[in-house]
Amino acid sequence: MRYFLLLLVVMTGTAFSAEQSDVTVKAKPAAETTVICASPQEPTYTPPVNKVTSSPKSESLLTETSNVHITVYGQGVAPMTTTSPAQAYALAKRAAIADAYRLIAEKVKGVRVEGQDTIKNMIVKRSMVRTHVDAMIRQANIIETTFKDGLCEVEMEIVLSRSQFAL
Amino acid sequence: MRSRDGDRPLTLTICALIFLPHLWADEYIISYRAVVRDAIIVDEKLNVSRAMQKCEGRHTTSILLETGGSDDLHQIIAREHDTFFSLMQQSALHIDHHEKNIDATNQSHTILTMPPQCFTVDINQDLAKITALK
């Protein structure tokens, strides 16, 4: 009788633990579902981060021993009301030189950019972008000038050395 | 060796001919301004005036321009603008550029300026020597 009772207790315990394990197995998918629908605060999924790395080979740096050569190509157009091809060339060259100076200033000093978009009823009504360049440039050299079909192109170069920026 | 007119040595005359023009060279204040709109030059102005005060600074780069029989510096520079521009480039030039893009229509406005700067000018019969002062 005593052994029977002990056997009964053992069997009941085993059945209870089996029932408990069944619940656990059934609850597992539910737990997974909860994880998927978890709130964003929980650190469940981390997207891969693309690290932006600069490529030093493509950029020339200003060092104590090496200078930086900046070459630009300015373009200018001859006005429609010119009396001779020589005048057209001269005027187009003036415009091209100013454009080349502008390009050098953009590269050396930078550009100030301002933008404004007006949107009404989810439709862009007006889009405006303003850029501004303001600089003093010294010792720029004209390398080559070409004139073809009313378009003058001036190749201009400036050499930057570290000593120019040293205090 | 003596000069033709008497006791003065020829060396002294030659030295005077070389150095005195530098002392007596005229000083001019020159400025330049070019306005470019949409890649077309619309205005260009070269201002030349005699300096009313003695300029200070050391001589830097020089250029030689043909006078073409004229003693007007404005005309001389206008005739050989490219050569003079190479001298201007050695000094500082100011660039002011505005560009506006409204609804895919672009407008640009560029002003290239050389601030007033002193130059010494020595005009002979055929050549004018212009030297920048810094």
- Rounded Cα–Cα distance for residues B33 and B53 (Å): 23
In terms of DSSP H, where are the helices of chain B?
A: 10-24, 73-79, 81-90
Q: Across chain B, which distance is largest between two alpha carbons, in Å?
A: 83
- Mean pLDDT of all residues belonging to chain A: 77
For residue A121, give the amino acid letter.
N
Contact assessment for residue A144 and residue A155, using Cβ atoms and an 8 Å cutoff: yes
Closest by Cβ to B112, choosing from A93, A101, A126: A101
Query: Which of A94, A102, A55 has its CA nearest to residue A77?
Result: A94
Contact assessment for residue A72 and residue A100, using Cβ atoms and an 8 Å cutoff: yes
Closest by Cβ to A75, choosing from B39, B89, B92: B39
Nearest chain B residue (CA) to A104:
B95
Q: Per-residue pLDDT for B41 more than 80?
A: yes
The reported pLDDT for the residue numbered A24 is: 40
> Cβ–Cβ of A138/B96 closer than 8 Å?
no
Query: Which of B108, B54, B47, B106 has its CA nearest to residue B77?
Result: B47
Query: DSSP 3-state assignment of A39?
Result: coil
Contact assessment for residue B78 and residue B46, using Cβ atoms and an 8 Å cutoff: yes
For residue A142, what is the DSSP state? E
Query: A142 vs chain B: nearest CA distance in angstroms?
Result: 8
Q: What is the mean pLDDT of residues A118-146?
A: 94
Q: Is the CB of B41 inside 8 Å of chain A's CB atoms?
A: yes
What pTM was computed for the model?
Answer: 0.70
Q: Per-residue pLDDT for A31 more than 50?
A: no
Confidence label for A23 from pLDDT (cuts 50, 70 and 90): very low
Contact assessment for residue B130 and residue B66, using Cβ atoms and an 8 Å cutoff: no
What is the residue extent of each domain of chain B? 24-133
> Cβ–Cβ of A90/B93 closer than 8 Å?
no
Return residues 42-101 of B near A (CB < 8 Å).
Answer: 44, 81-82, 85-86, 89-101
Main-chain dihedrals φ then ψ at residue A21, nearest 5 degrees: -65, -35
Contact assessment for residue B72 and residue B57, using Cβ atoms and an 8 Å cutoff: no
Return residues 111-130 of B near A (CB < 8 Å).
Answer: 112
Query: A134 vs chain B: nearest CA distance in angstroms?
Result: 5
Q: For residue range B96-118, list pLDDT tens digits in order.
A: 999 999 998 999 999 999 999 99
Q: Per-residue pLDDT for B73 more than 60?
A: yes
